[in-house]
Amino acid sequence: MANNKLLRMDNVGIVVESLDKAISFFSEIGLKLEGRATIEGEWAGRVTGLGNQHVEVAMMVTPDGHSRLELSQFHTPPIISDHRTAPVNALGYLRVMFTVEDIDELVSRLSEHGAQVVGEVVQYENAYRLCYIRGADGLLIGLAEQLGNK
């Protein structure tokens, strides 16, 4: 029996309406655009099960280089479902959480890009300040500021 082990999580995929807006939004958070490409052809449809598809993708990487978001804008086939207004207790993949240096400063900057805090910024014990925001295309994003280890 082979000793296969998990190497790493490669990325989290997020489907967006506007790739340009999403790149701008996640750049404001602090991710860097690693690359952008068009994906189409029979091989791609075999992977996704969508058949003939035409998708623009952008890979965004965190400053530490360990985590990535793959942002996808589908041109064909059309988007068939919209989960952006789902509450935080909805089943399925829901949000991405980022640890940030200054949550108040970032929320202020993101609000200039149309982001809105879902509830409020709250403090959990002496460990974190946390909030959820709705950002580009209504995506749910978590922000966490670690306290005491600055």
- CATH number of the domain at 20, please: 3.10.180.10
* 94 domain residue, yes or no: yes
Residue 2 covered by a domain: no
Do 23 and 54 fall within a single domain? yes
- DSSP state at residue 138: G
| Domain co-membership, 135 together with 70 | no
Same-domain check for residues 67 and 103 = no
Residues 63 and 97 in one domain: no
On whether both 17 and 59 belong to a single domain, the answer is: yes
Task: Identify whether residues 120 and 136 lie together within a single domain.
Answer: yes
Task: Give the span between the Cα atoms of 118 and 130, in whole angstroms.
Answer: 11
DSSP secondary structure code for residue 31 in this structure: -
Q: Quick one: 45 and 55 in the same domain? A: yes
Give the pTM. Answer: 0.85
Query: Considering its fold, how many domains does the chain have in total?
Result: 2
Alpha helices, DSSP H only, in 40-82? 42-48
Q: Provide the domain limits for residue 65.
A: 8-81
Alpha carbon 54 to its chain centroid, in Å, reads: 21
pLDDT of residue 43: 79
Domain assignment of residue 130, yes or no: yes
Residue 22 domain-assigned (yes or no): yes
Which pLDDT score, from 0 to 100, does residue 2 have? Answer: 61
pLDDT at 41: 80
The reply to whether 3 falls in a domain is no
Task: Round to whole Å and give the CA distance between 137 and 17.
Answer: 6
Q: Give the Å distances, CA to CA, from 122 to 40, 113, 114, 131.
A: 43, 22, 21, 7
Statement to judge: residues 40 and 91 lie in one domain: no
- According to the model, what pLDDT value does residue 49 have? 81
Per the domain annotation, does 1 fall within a domain?
Answer: no
Three-class DSSP category at 4 = coil
Splitting the chain (150 residues) into consecutive groups of 10 residues, what average pLDDT does each group show? 74 92 95 94 80 92 94 90 82 86 95 92 93 87 85
Of the candidates 37, 58, 56, 40, the residue with the CA atom closest to the CA atom of residue 48: 40
